[in-house]
Structure formats: structure tokens, C-alpha cells
Structure 1
């Protein structure tokens, strides 16, 4: 069975698609067979990213390790089992098809609560939740008291993950390994950065997730998307000398893949 990685957060702009693309491509470059799905059926940021990659490689005669991307299959109404939601059935069929010949299946979820996203979370072996380093994003995980920052209780997204965990437990499946990654960290030890870090540390022990640094705010990420490239492809396109920012970003990706502790993955970049 393939190991299923879900990248989810109910808030847009947290870096889910950038994280999805870099994790999936890094695994592909290390020789693993990776299948991907994008459950943001309208925007399809991950799908567009991979489409840009194929177009860029074709136009420049390049062969770059690329994850397999699959659209949700169209299912005729009469082929949906009685009592089963059609969207649920489409996702289940897609995952079954990808699991058959891939080591990893990575699913990029939309920045909103949808039925498909909820079902995908219940499939997760590993859940990555990118989070901008602010209390605006933190509010999706937990409610806090403004006077002293005390945690009052889990918020909407944490409750959804809890529901997914219960569904897996009832099915006799292993627990979800949940990693919250702090994206767009400032370079200086600012007061807000420290407070968010302390709050995440307390909450992680309370509701059961691991905290990791993600990607800092860098111009390079905005430049890579139109060509479908990742940090690991820069030397392949002739960038023999990487600037310090790019080197630091590659190290962030290396650290993230290491923290994920995925089965049979030895970080080799």
C-alpha cells in the first residue's frame, strides 16, 4: 500500500501547493514513485504547477523527475454504489488507482472546508499543515484568550483532524502523524514570532502534532511556479551557482523531508 500524505489547512495562502510540489518532487527525484491529486477542483494550483513543469520541460528539451498527476475520474451515476456520495466515490477510486503502482500518494487539499477534504484527511498516514506564522492562522487550530494568550480549546480545523483520527481508529488504521510547519518565518526573533512558537508548543502537546519549520518568505518561490520548477531543479537548468537565499531554501526543504520521517526515505539532496 502507498503511504498517503495529505497537505491541508482550511485557510488559503499558507503555502500548501508550494509545500506539496516540493515534497512530491523531492521524493520523485530520490527515486520514489509519487502520485498526486489536487482537491481544489476550481483553482487547481498543484495541477497547474505540474502542468507548467511538463510544458517547460517539453519546450526546453529537459527530462526532470516529475510526480504523476491524476484528475479525479468521472463516474457515471449508475456506477456509484447505492448510498455512497458520488464525490467520495471519485476520490476513493482515484486513491485506489494511484496506490496500485506508487510508493506515495500526495493529496493537496483546498483552503476551505469541503467534503472531499474531510474524507482525504481520514486517509492520511502523514498530515502536513502549513501555517503562516501569525495568530490569524493559529486561530484555525485553537481559540485563545486575548488577555494572556491562554488556549481555550481546539478550533475548526483541529476538530476536523480529530474527527479524521477517530474515523481511522474505528477502521483499525494506524494513527495520523500530524506535522504543522511554520511558513514565512521572519529572519529576526520578533516578539510575535516567539509568542506564536510558544503557543504552538503548548498546543502540540495538547492535541498531538509535531512542529517543524517550513519555508521562509522568498522571492524564488514566486519565480519557480510559472516554469513548474522547484528549488532542487535550479542546477538542472543551468544555475551552477546558487545564491545564499536559494541555498538556505534548499536546506529548509531538506530539513522538512527529514522531519517528515517517511517510510524508506533517505534524504539525498
Structure 2
């Protein structure tokens, strides 16, 4: 009876500590100690039966420990798989994010480059158009204006028109400055035609390229109709005509 109680106590002790590998090891050691105690005390219970019972307990402990170890291993593997899947999922998410970011940056760079190219193209076209207009205007004005500004008849008509406008305010005497190049081309008829309409006229020749300058006698206010002044005056009108003729149809 005493041995049976000891065995029950041993079984309870083994069950209590059978939840880990260390517990299995301790339980097996305890079973071995029981065997030794049985032998030394020469208990009346048949030792063979005792050994069988102890073997049964040992096997039970082993199986319980093995199952526990397997379960722990399965739990560890399951956790490892879950962690691995989470890592892979996170890595894929980060990869997708990087790809999306790279694509966004690529699209932005593409759009930015296209915008810059479009702006550069527009600016280059605008500069080219301006240069073309300037070249055309300069060539047309340089030849036409200088030719007209060195024509005595053209100058005579201009002076007469100015004189008539000033004459509305009273008698007018003009001081006319002409290019030195016209000295040989301005005859007495030129001066007589102007004096016929005005009250007085004095002509002076100076070193101007073409055109003329005129002012009322005794006044410091002078009108400049030299070729350069005429070109500056006519350029805006010629530019408008050039744009309408050469660029309006293209939409530029």
C-alpha cells in the first residue's frame, strides 16, 4: 500500500512536470530513483511488476514529451511560416511602393521634360519670328526710306504739309536742314515752291545721312525726319503688316 501511494505520487509528479523537455528529463530521473529505492528496500511488491509499471510510466512520459515537442515544433514552424509570409508581403508592398514611386517620378520627369522642350521650342520660334521680322523690316525700310528721304520732291511735299498745318496759327517762316548729299540736287525751283506757300524759308546743309529737319524760326522745337527717325516711326506699322502677311495663316 505504501508503495502504491509512492507510485501514485510519482505519477502525479511526472504528469505535473511533463510539459517540457526539461520536465521529461527530471521525471525520468525520478523514475530511476524509484527503481533504486525499490531494490534497496526490498519491498514485498514483485520487482518485475514494479519495473513494468515504471516502464509504462517512462513510456508515457516519453510519448507525452514527444507529442509536446512535436506540437511546439509545429507551432514554431507555423509561426515561422506566418512571419515569413508577413516578411514577403511587406517586401512585396515595399517593392510595389518603390515601383509606383519610380513610375511617378518617371512620369513627372517625362512631363517636365516635354514641358521644357515645348517652352524652349516656343521661345526659339518666337525669337526666330522676331529676327525674321526685324530683318525684313530693316531691309525694306533701309532701302525704301533712304531712297525717299533723299528725294527732293518727297522732302518738298513733307515740308509743305507741315507748313500748312503751322500756318493755321499765323504766318510761318521755316528753317530747313537738308543732307549735304542733296546740295547739288536742290535748285531754286525747290525753294521757290516752298516759299510760295509759306512766309519765309531758310535752307541749311549739314552732315546727316538722309531726310531733313525742320523748325519754326525763333523756336527751339525741331521735327526730325531723318532716315533713322523715319525708320523708327514706320517700324511698328511695317512689323504689323509683316506679321499679318507671313505668320497669321500659320497661327503663330
Higher helix share: 2
Q: TM-score under structure 2 normalisation?
A: 0.25
Q: TM-score under structure 1 normalisation?
A: 0.24
Higher Cα Rg, which structure: 2
Structure with more relative contact order (C-alpha pairs < 8 Å, separation 6 or more)? 1
